[in-house]
Amino acid sequence: MYNRHAVATTQLGDLTLVAKDGALTGVYFPHHWVKPDRTTLGAKVELEDDLLLAEAARQLDQYLAGERDAFDLPIQLAGDEFQQRVWAMLDEIPRGETTTYGDLAERLGDKALAQRVGQAVGHNPLSIVVPCHRVVGKDGKLTGYAGGLKRKQFLLDLEEPAAIKAERLF
């Protein structure tokens, strides 16, 4: 098992990209809420020396520039069964749309699971790639995001459909 990481400079600041063998396992912001266990980071490598991490950085750059709508990367998510279920639902949220923690909990069969859903969303190790920024609080209010609310708003604005942008006055 070969873990490694590299730092990619992006529009959202430096992101730590983590890979294990042939899969991307983490995308972390500086001051990330839930920091990865240092042992899972592995050796630090130069971005240009690792094909997978370099490709992840390239696709992130394209995505943040509005040139890519989705990621085409091998990923591996390490978490318990509940987290895996929540993360799979995050991946199903269409670009340009949002959902709430309560809606996800209801899809899991119990609206009372909203707080637990929020914890799973907050532990998503693949920020941006697995789009946890598309989950908002009740009434569409922005709530916590590992990269901060400014970054969350940036990502939501980036993904907003052109028709909706055109309808806004400001």
Cite the active site residues: 132
Which among 37, 3, 36, 35 is positioned nearest to 22, based on CA atoms?
3
User: What contacts 24+ positions apart, CB below 8 Å, involve 62-71?
Assistant: 63/128, 64/10, 64/11, 64/12, 64/158, 65/11, 66/158, 69/95, 70/95, 71/129
Cβ distance 150 to 113 under 8 Å?
A: no
| Alpha-carbon gap, residue 99 to 18, rounded angstroms | 27
Residues 6+ apart with CB under 8 A from 152: 133, 142, 145
Report in angstroms the alpha-carbon separations of 144 from 34, 94, 108, 164, 169: 12, 20, 21, 24, 27
